[in-house]
Chains A and B, each alone.
Chain A
Amino acid sequence: MREREDEWTGLMRSAISGDSAAYHRLLKAVTPVLRAAARRGLARAGQPVDQSEDIVQDILLAVHLKRHTWDTSAPFAPWLFAIARNKLIDALRRRGRRIFVNVDDFAEILPGEVAEPTASASEVAAQLQALPARQRDVLQSIAVDSASIKDTAAKLSMTEGAVRVALHRGLASLTAKLREQ
């Protein structure tokens, strides 16, 4: 477990210094752990666990938009679990439950426990439809059609810079909409 967390810290450091592939690997690596913790939190609150994927996506968006608050000299896992815990509590509160979520819930999860299939989430997809057209088109193109920024720019007749701006704004407003719902 210790090794796993050291690996995350290393990947996040590379990500911060501009390595998008490392960032992709990191997000892939933490997702099953977040998913298992979300399921556990939902189960304990007596909520259907099939909503866990919405919480996972909510956490991933927060990690993305707040990663500048991570101190690169500190280990990554405590920061990640603090965000995950916050989002899990938020999600349970929105569903009308208050529950104590222990940070250890995240740390305790063993690799064997986390082999869950990717479930579908509905909240992000629903809020995506409410975004301004340009942001929505860019997000659709990159997320759903797996297009690169360059291809997206060509397809939508935008500059690459404009695609990057629309992508970031789209992710930020998506997060704001999820928070306010």
Chain B
Amino acid sequence: MDTDQLIQTLAADNENRARPVGFALMLALLAAAPVSLLIFFAELGVRPDVMTAMHNPFFDLKFAVTLALAISATAVSLHLSRPETSLRGFGWWLLIPAGILVAGISGEMMMPQRAPMMTRLVGSNSKACMAAIPAISLPLLAGALYGLRQGAPARPAIAGAVAGMMSAGLAATLYASHCTDDSPLFVATWYTIATALVTAIGALMGARVLRY
């Protein structure tokens, strides 16, 4: 097939255009969400004292951090799905959740505490946290990568890593409602390790599946 013939063929296919990447991503996440919800409710469930916990600002702060991560990573993912873009000028979005966390830690430091710092940091659910967040996020990550395949990222590994952050943020939002450790120090340690793991998996998978 010579190039003129190819061009003629492409022009004949002009009517067939894919939907925007954001739309594909949303559909894929909606399809993956039931699997993650099933894992969460079958294995963990919301903590029994959730109604009282909601009055604890540090319980609520967990959601601010995880949702900020999910939202900013989604925005950055969509940005990176275009071929001419890079993290430059946009990467700072990913620092928002870290900023909220730092503010939370300083807030907690200023309050009188019953438990010493190390006890709060180590908590009682660290292993569950590091297992549950990746487990809940994997279906979401698979969905996110499937949706983002509609895009054309210049750096597939980086796009995959950000997709990992997005799914870890969503998974951590669910997990936060189960976990009884509310200290920002606990969140900063164990949620971060779990998120880093999912981010690495996302980078490895993205490098393979997000090439166009």
Which residue numbers of A lie inside 8 Å of B, CB to CB? 15-16, 18-21, 23-24, 27-28, 31, 53, 56-57, 60-62, 64-71, 78-79, 81-83, 86, 90, 118, 120-121, 124-125, 128, 139, 142-144, 146, 148-149, 164, 167-168, 171, 179
Majority DSSP secondary structure for residues of B touching A: loop
The segment out of B14-22, B106-114, B190-198 that lies at the interface is B14-22
20 contacts between A and B (CB under 8 A): A15-B14, A18-B15, A21-B11, A24-B7, A60-B6, A65-B18, A65-B212, A66-B151, A68-B19, A79-B84, A82-B154, A83-B152, A86-B152, A86-B212, A142-B8, A142-B9, A143-B8, A149-B12, A164-B15, A168-B16
Please determine whether B81 and A142 come into contact, CB atoms closer than 8 angstroms. Answer: no
Given the contacts A168-B13, A168-B16, A28 and B7 also touching, CB distance less than 8 Å: yes
Q: Can you list the 7 inter-chain pairs with the closest CB atoms, starting with the nearest?
A: A82-B84, A24-B11, A82-B83, A66-B152, A20-B14, A143-B5, A168-B16
Which residue numbers of B lie inside 8 Å of A, CB to CB? 1-21, 81-84, 150-152, 154, 211-212
Which partner residue on chain A sits nearest B211 by CB separation? A179
**Alpha-carbon separation in the docked complex, A148 to B11 (Å):** 11
Please determine whether A60 and B11 come into contact, CB atoms closer than 8 angstroms. Answer: no
**Alpha-carbon separation in the docked complex, A82 to B154 (Å):** 8
Contact of A120 among B2, B16, B19 (CB under 8 A): B2
**Alpha-carbon separation in the docked complex, A19 to B17 (Å):** 13
Contact of A60 among B3, B12, B83 (CB under 8 A): B3
Contact of B21 among A27, A68, A82 (CB under 8 A): A68
Chain B's nearest CB lies how many Å from the CB of A2?
18
Which partner residue on chain B sits nearest A146 by CB separation? B8
**Alpha-carbon separation in the docked complex, A3 to B21 (Å):** 30
